[in-house]
Chain A
Amino acid sequence: QKEVEQNSGPLSVPEGAIASLNCTYSDRGSQSFFWYRQYSGKSPELIMSIYSNGDKEDGRFTAQLNKASQYVSLLIRDSQPSDSATYLCAAYFNKFYFGSGTKLNVKP
C-alpha cells in the first residue's frame, strides 16, 4: 500500500469553478501535510501546508485536514487556466511521502 495516494486525474474544471483535489495517507503518525504545484517541465512549488484538523485558507486556496479519516484535500476557488498543473500531496513522518500527483486542467 502506498503511503500517500492521489487520483492521477486528469481533473478537468471550467474556468471560475472550484477544483477539489483529494489525498489519503496511511501513517497515523504524520503531523505535517503539504500541497505542491508542479507545472510541466518545472520543479514542485510549495503552495500550502497544514498541521491541524480543519481548514486553512490562503487566497483562493483552502487546505482541509481530517486526521481521523487520514484525508487531506485542496480546494481551488475561482479556478484559472494558470492553475493547470500537477498537484502533489505530501505527508511527513521522519521523511516526506509524496503522492503521485493529480493533473488539473482548467478550461477557459
Chain B
Amino acid sequence: KAGVTQTPRYLIKTRGQQVTLSCSPISGHRSVSWYQQTPGQGLQFLFEYFSETQRNKGNFPGRFSGRQFSNSRSEMNVSTLELGDSALYLCASSLWIGGGSSNYGYTFGSGTRLTVV
C-alpha cells in the first residue's frame, strides 16, 4: 500500500519567490493536513482539507494557502517567501470517520525541506 507522497523532497528558493508543494494521500484517505516543523518549534498546524473543503486553519499569514483536488491530492502554496519560512513541511493524511472526537490517526509523508535564501 503506497504511503503519503510529497514532492519535491528538497527545495531552495529565494526571498520573495513563491513555492508550491504537492501531497498525494494514501488511497482512500480524504483528509489531508499540512504542518510546518522548525527546530525548537515543534509541529505547527497550517490547514486541513476534507473533500476539497478546508476544515481547519492554523495561525499562519495569508501568504500560506492550500487546496485539495477531487482525487484528494493537495497542494500548498507560499507566496512572497521569507527567510523564516525555511522549514520541513509535512503533509499527513487520515481516514477521518466524521464527528469531532474520533480519528484513526495521521500517516505523515516524508516532507519537503524548504530552504529560503
Chain A residues close to B by CB (< 8 Å)? 29-32, 34, 36, 42-46, 49, 51, 88, 90, 92-96, 98-101
Contacts and interface: CB of A to CB of B under 8 A. Distances in A.
Contacts of B90: 43-44
Contacts of A88: 42-43
10 contacts: A30-B101, A43-B88, A43-B111, A44-B90, A88-B43, A92-B101, A94-B100, A95-B45, A95-B55, A96-B45
B111 A31 contact: no
Nearest to B107: A46
Contacts of B106: 34, 36, 44, 46, 90, 96
Contacts of A46: 105-107
Contact of B105 (A34, A93, A94): A34
A29 B99 CA distance: 11
Contact of B101 (A34, A93, A98): A93
A44 B101 contact: no
Contacts of B88: 43
Contacts of A90: 105-106
A32 B94 CA distance: 13
Given A43-B109, A90-B106, 18 more contacts: A32-B103, A32-B104, A32-B105, A34-B106, A42-B110, A44-B90, A44-B106, A46-B106, A49-B104, A49-B105, A88-B42, A88-B43, A92-B101, A93-B100, A93-B101, A95-B33, A98-B45, A99-B42
Nearest to B88: A43
A19 B104 CA distance: 25
A94 B42 CA distance: 20
Contacts of B56: 94-95
A107 to B, nearest CB: 23
A95 B55 CA distance: 9
